[in-house]
Homo-oligomer: A and B are copies of this chain.
């Protein structure tokens, strides 16, 4: 299908950072292995991976006790997804992967036309990143089994509700990892 051809797909992995508590045995940890597979498939296909992690500054005047403070280890990509020396690392200043940073400029100058989005949380960073990508006119693919609502005790439909919006409103493709790999992560020159 012509529509499935992407000139230049890019994989965007959201908030898989130490500060968010991705520890063996912790809530949702089983997704990490899946995201590892996504990264490896991207490398094999010669597709660029971009990690986008949160970053706050002490001057931000955020309420409460904000984490993910600049200069701390919390901002680092978790060890399971290392090394990152093949990846682009971008920091987002608030919720969306595009918030107040060079993600759009970087995708645009690369010639990217389609983003493959993974990470957490589906109803937060993944949702806003999908919306901003769509509004900057990148095609949006979300990897269904590489995203989750990374907060315990959420109502059961939280993830599905966000994915429904991505499908219905943003016309995004929400498909499982195997399908993402066979459709978009095929070897490129």
Contacts and interface: CB of A to CB of B under 8 A. Distances in A.
Contacts of A101: 100-102
A93 B110 contact: no
Nearest to A58: B88
Nearest to A56: B109
A60 interface: yes
Interface in A80-133: 88, 93-96, 99-102, 104-106, 108-111, 121, 123-124, 127-128, 131
Given A95-B131, A95-B135, A102-B100, A88 B123 contact: no
Nearest to A110: B59
Contacts of A123: 165, 168-169
Interface residues of A, number: 41
Most buried by B among A135, A165, A168: A135
A46 interface: no
A48 B142 CA distance: 36
A162 to B, nearest CB: 7
Contacts of A106: 57, 59-60, 93
A137 B109 contact: yes
A157 interface: yes
A105 to B, nearest CB: 4
A105 B93 contact: yes
Contact of A165 (B105, B134, B162): B162
Contacts of A105: 93-94, 99-100
Give the 10 A-B CB pairs with smallest separation, nearest first: A161-B161, A100-B105, A100-B102, A59-B110, A94-B135, A124-B169, A93-B102, A60-B109, A128-B131, A123-B165
A95 B161 CA distance: 18
A72 B124 CA distance: 33
A61 interface: yes
